[in-house]
Amino acid sequence: MRILHTMLRTGNLPRAIDFYTQVLGMRLLRQKDYPDGKFTLAFLGYGEESEHSVIELTYNWDVDRYELGNAYGHIAIEVEDVYAAVERIKTLGGKILREAGPMNAGTTLIAFVEDPDGYPIELIGARQVAGGC
């Protein structure tokens, strides 16, 4: 078994695709309209779906925003350099929720950014594994 994708609803599909591709560096892997259901699905990721988990953006044609609720947490993305990633996202107009720095009560470097629909995304510094394990 493996995780295939995480689905997020978006109120503006072009804006969301632009954020995930231009700001976070993902690729649009596939997109399809479902006229009978009045929705569009777009799948984005850093690699092919056969090998990687991806993000599924769902755009319901008659809805332009959603209430996020209080049960949802966040998406986490590993980055080589958290500080550099935050600076790049800032220059591209991304919203920073938490600046880069050590996590609370730990040493792992993290930051939080927000996508155009308000979903939080955690950036986590790449882990250095001793001994090649």
Active site residues: 122
The full length of the chain comes to 133
Cα–Cα distance between 16 and 115 in angstroms, integer?
7
Q: How many CB atoms lie within 10 A of CB 121?
A: 21
Name the phi and psi angles at 57, rounded to 5: -95, 125
Query: CB neighbours of 129 closer than 8 A, spacing ≥ 6?
Result: none
Enter the tokens of residue 118: 């308000």
